[in-house]
Amino acid sequence: EVQLVESGGGLVKPGGSLRLSCAASGFTFSSYSMNWVRQAPGKGLEWVSSISSSSSYIYYADSVKGRFTISRDNAKNSLYLQMNSLRAEDTAVYYCARDKGVSGGSPDYWGQGTLVTVSS
């Protein structure tokens, strides 16, 4: 059974940093591209970032480019999102999602999400 478990969310002040993790199991993690998708409270879904299976291709939404860094450790079956210079508008539930395709942007399995709150 595919499982994705996010962690690392919490309350952080504007300008602060946070690192999210996603632990994957039930599939060959190293064979799949992965995504981060977020959802602000009461709002819709927004694609944030994708990383290919070998980390050769990495993509970001314009809204987070230069502030967020996606990475993965295939030996640990883990996906990460380093978030720096956080803003109030980054407040959201962040979902880790396995990709159906090669380059990202095609989520099939989703984790349960972790809430990030940016507030003073």
Partner 1 sequence: QAVVTQEPSLTVSPGGTVTLTCGSSTGAVTSGHYPYWFQQKPGQAPRTLIYDTSNKHSWTPARFSGSLLGGKAALTLSGAQPEDEAEYYCLLSYSGARPDVVFGGGTKLTVL
Query: Do 21 and 8 touch, CB atoms closer than 8 A?
Result: yes
Q: Decide: is 59 part of the binding site for partner 1 (CB under 8 A).
A: yes
Q: Decide: is 105 part of the binding site for partner 1 (CB under 8 A).
A: yes
Binding span for partner 1 by CB under 8 A among 10-18, 21-29, 46-54, 84-92: 46-54
Tally of residues, the chain: 120
Q: Please say which residue, 83 or 104, places its beta carbon nearer to partner 1.
A: 104
Q: How far is Cα 103 from Cα 25, in angstroms, rounded to an integer?
A: 21
Half-sphere exposure of 113 (CA within 13 A, CB side): 14
Q: Decide: is 113 part of the binding site for partner 1 (CB under 8 A).
A: yes
Which residue in 5, 21, 23, 46 binds partner 1 (CB under 8 A)? 46
